[in-house]
Amino acid sequence: MQLIKIAAGVLNQTPLDWDGNRRNVTAAIDEARRQDVTVLCLPELCLTGYGCEDAFLSAGVHRMAARVLVELVPETQGMIVSFGLPVPYRGALYNAACLAVDGRIAGFVGKQHLAGEGLHYEPRWFKPWPAEARAEIDVAGETYPMGDLLFDVGGVLFGFEICEDAWVADRPGAGLARRGVDVILNPSASHFAFGKQDIRRRFVLEGSRAFSASYVYSNLLGNEAGRALYDGGAMIANAGKMAVEGPRFRFSETRVTAATVDVEANRMNRARTASYSPEFSNDSQNVIRLPFNHRPTPTAVNRSQLAAWETSPQIKEEEFTRAVALGLFDYLRKSRMRGFVVSLSGGADSAAVATLCALAIRLATHELGLPEVLQKLGRGPVAAGPLAAGPDGEASAAGNDHLAVEELVRQTLTCVYQATRNSSQTTRDAAAGVAAGLHATFLEFDVDALVERYSEMVATAAGRPLSWESDDLTLQNIQARARAPGVWMLANLKGALLLSTSNRSEAAVGYATMDGDTCGGLSPIAGIDKAFLRSWLRWMGADGPEETGPIEALQVVSALPPTAELRPAASAQTDEGDLMPYEILDAIERAAIRDKCTPLEVLQQFEAAYPDVAQDQLIAWIERFFRLWSRNQWKRERYAPSFHLDDENLDPKTWCRFPILSGGFERELEELRRYAEQPRRERG
């Protein structure tokens, strides 16, 4: 039996924040040492931050990353620690992991498979490292090995799969296993998407089982660079079983999750496997051997470190709540803004955004305690009671004065209801009720006089009066745009972040007023569909996360039919009346944009999926979607940055590219109409 204690360090880093990133790395090393950890795996590119974009092409960034690495290596005395950083070699740049052993650099491993789809553009900056290749590189005046390396450290063999390496069919881990690897380290920067943790668990467990090795997975945490969210979720597997899994979506900037593993047990598992055949080629050039005294580790039972909410079913509403709340909290503190401003209409979208802002403060204080949250936000003290210790020994807001947390929410979140003559008392009351339920500051602006002044000015210039019969969209849009200057001014006055409240369903068809309801510096729900938002509001009104419980005022909002309230009340305007049922709209979007189906292919799917809907109605909705999608790419290009929440995102800057000018699917829509005109017996 040879027991070693290994750990995954989860970090909330910021691109190019050299001192902040170094502090987090040092804190993780110190915590690992406190837990008697021997081996610590830190996330991918943790020294620079993963989201540096084209700054990766700066030689100055490479030099600074190497300098920070040299500063940190002495802190690894008595330990084995991996760091992630970009490494240049012969005019190319590589995404690399550095293994430091007992205060010295042992060598560097280059990532072999680059992430180049969706959010990821690694091939823009990095080159893949060739399998089995080795080189000598210079770092801060010293020469070190780099390549497809194994590290024999005190008789224990360590290898790397770097993030994407584990997601491909020909995983480097298979070759490492043939070379006798004992521990595989996987430093990752794997963005959050709904249900993605289940996929990670599978490759961690399968890597441990198939390769007969201990497998350590460490991920980034939080809103690193603005759009992508990282959920943390450290994992350590041994002999095909999960030894420990760390909590996700935490507000602390570092987290160390450790487990004790038996190296010899994995070796015996490999020996028992009839299909295992070791590699007999001379691998001496690609094995770096270093002495190390693996101190005795007492036998210990590994207990899961899952957060309490993760032990219950991981419903989508929970993941959404915690991902966006953490994303908003990080965006607020990293942008150094003083709070949030939301134009609260009384509808579902703005209520969801405001609720998520309040949850960001409440969940953070529940985990960290009020004093630390105030420090992170650069705030002075508010009235608070004494801190209490939580079940894991950390400071908890549970013992704080509840009124102090409510006061912090009030200071941080300002909601503004902006009325015109077309606004109803129903939505005004709903907005006021939501703000009260959240304990937010609530203000009311009457912008009707501004709308009338603009209308009179343009009517005079046009030489004719404006009417709803001839100028419907113009009169709707000016109301939304007239709301923008005042709420922007309020945000400037408070030094706060103005949040846009448009959702993905609206973005797909351009059902939003540019410089109106799209105005803001961040669009936190632009990546999520309307149908799910309404479902989430119902869940928040009845259940909510364990730490906060339900917000009953949301029940009123979720019961109202979505409406822009931009036409006179007599028109009984609703969003679905203007467009189509949101369920249908979202289904067409997934088929047309995610799955790249033609209009006819969408119809053929929907005839089976919606047998109770008349074919001519389905055709009308499908044609409306494709036409509106094509006309409104320019709007999607102008949306404020949004959070990536699933792999159906429409953000053209990170996920879904489409031309601003196009043919508009004219031939495809004509094919759809011809199909509908054929007798059913001729359709084959």
Structure confidence at residue 304 (pLDDT): 46
Is beta strand 221-223 parallel, antiparallel or unpaired with respect to 229-231?
A: antiparallel
pLDDT of res. 31: 98
The DSSP secondary-structure symbol of 165 reads G
Cα separation, 86 vs 46, whole angstroms: 10
Pick from 65, 62, 100: nearest CA to 79: 100
Query: Could you read off the pLDDT of 551-567 as tens digits, one per residue?
Result: 999 999 988 888 888 88
Largest distance between two CA atoms of the chain: 91
Query: Among positive and negative, which fits the CA dihedral 470, 473, 475, 476?
Result: positive
Q: Is residue 18 part of a domain?
A: yes
On whether both 548 and 626 belong to a single domain, the answer is no
Per residue in 298-334, pLDDT (tens digit) is 655 455 444 434 444 458 999 999 999 999 999 999 9
Instruction: Please tell me the predicted confidence (pLDDT) of residue 250.
Output: 97
Query: Is residue 452 pLDDT above 60, yes or no?
Result: yes
Mean pLDDT of the chain: 92
pLDDT at 266: 85
Tell me, yes or no, whether 324 and 452 share the same domain.
yes
pLDDT at 82 over 90: yes
H or E stretch covering 425: helix 425-438
Give the mean pLDDT of 251-255: 97
Structure-model confidence comparison of residues 390 and 266, the more confident one: 266
**Which tokens belong to 35?**
């837990």
Tally the C-alpha atoms within 13 A of residue 14's C-alpha that lie toward its C-beta. 13
- Does one domain contain both 43 and 151? yes
Same domain? For 388 and 402 the reply is: yes
- Regarding whether 586 and 476 lie in a shared domain, the answer is no
Q: Which residue has the higher pLDDT, 576 or 381?
A: 576
Kindly state the helix (H) or strand (E) to which residue 485 belongs, with its residue range.
Answer: helix 472-494
User: Pick from 222, 257, 406: which is nearest to 329 by CA?
Assistant: 222
The mean per-residue pLDDT over the stretch 64-91 comes to: 97
| 278 pLDDT tier (thresholds 50, 70, 90) | confident
Angle between helical axes of 582-589 and 530-542 (0-180°, round to 10): 130
Tens digit of each residue's pLDDT (9 = 90 or more) over 397-443:
444 467 899 999 999 999 999 999 999 999 999 999 999 999 999 99
> Helices 615-631 and 582-589 meet at what angle, rounded to 10?
60
The answer to whether residue 489 is domain-embedded is: yes
Which of residues 283, 309, 335 is at a domain's end? 309
Q: How far apart are CA 454 and CA 458, in angstroms?
A: 6
pLDDT at 233 over 60: yes
- The CATH code of the domain that includes 68 is 3.60.110.10
196, with CB counted inside 10 A (0-12, 13-18, 19+), is middle
Stronger pLDDT, 559 or 25, i.e. the higher one: 25
Give the model confidence (pLDDT) of 157-205 as tens digits. Answer: 999 999 999 999 999 999 999 999 999 999 999 999 999 999 999 999 9
Per the structure, the count of domains in the chain is: 3
In a domain, 337, yes or no: yes
Summarize the confidence of residues 656-673 as an average pLDDT: 95
> Do residue 559 and residue 643 come from a single domain?
no
Q: Say whether both 556 and 480 belong to one domain.
A: yes
The pLDDT, as a whole number, for residue 682 is 56
Tokens of 190: 């794997």
| The three-state (H, E, C) secondary structure of 620-678, written as one string | HHHHHHHHHHHHCHHHHHHCCCECCCCCCCCCCCCCCCCCCCCCCCHHHHHHHHHHHHC
Q: What is the pLDDT of residues 333-377, one digit of tens each?
A: 999 999 999 999 999 999 999 999 999 999 999 999 999 999 999
Confidence band of 572 (pLDDT split at 50, 70, 90) = confident
**Phi (first) and psi of residue 589, to 5 degrees:** -60, -45
Cβ atoms of residues 550 and 541 within 8 Å = yes
The model's confidence at residue 90, banded by pLDDT at 50, 70 and 90, is: very high
Question: Are residues 597 and 527 located together in one domain of the fold?
Answer: no
Would you say residue 118 has pLDDT above 90? Answer: no
User: What 8-state DSSP symbol labels residue 220?
Assistant: B
**Any idea what the CATH number is for the domain that residue 656 is in?**
3.40.50.620
pTM greater than 0.85: yes
One domain, residues 163 and 287: yes
573 belongs to a structural domain = no
- Give me the mean pLDDT over the 384-389 stretch: 41
Determine how β-strand 395-396 pairs with β-strand 497-499: unpaired
Q: Per residue in 579-636, pLDDT tens?
A: 999 999 999 999 999 999 999 999 999 999 999 999 999 999 999 999 999 999 999 9
Last residue of a domain, one of 563, 598, 626: 563
Say what the pLDDT of residue 271 is. 79
In a domain, 379, yes or no: yes
In a domain, 574, yes or no: no
Share of the chain above pLDDT 90, in %: 83
Domain that residue 684 falls in: 580-684
pLDDT digits (tens, 9 = 90+) for 100-111: 999 999 999 999
Q: Does residue 207 share a domain with residue 323?
A: no
* pLDDT given for residue 473 in this prediction: 93
Residue 628 lies in a domain: yes
Distance of alpha carbon 394 from its chain centroid, rounded? 25
3-state class (DSSP) for residue 94: strand
pLDDT at 54: 97
Which residue among 495, 528, 563 closes a domain?
563
- Cα gap 447→421, rounded to integer Å: 9
| Order of strands, sheet of 183-187, starting from the edge strand that comes earlier in the sequence | 241-245, 235-238, 214-218, 183-187, 156-160, 150-153, 287-290
281 has a pLDDT exceeding 80:
no
Domain co-membership, 275 together with 369: no
Q: 571 pLDDT band (50/70/90 cuts)?
A: confident
Q: Is 27 left (phi over 0), alpha (psi -120 to 50) or beta?
A: alpha
Q: What is the pLDDT of residue 374?
A: 95
Model pLDDT, residue 302: 56
Whether residues 452 and 471 fall in one domain: yes
629 found inside a domain: yes
Q: Give the separation between CA 433 and CA 426, rounded to whole angstroms.
A: 11
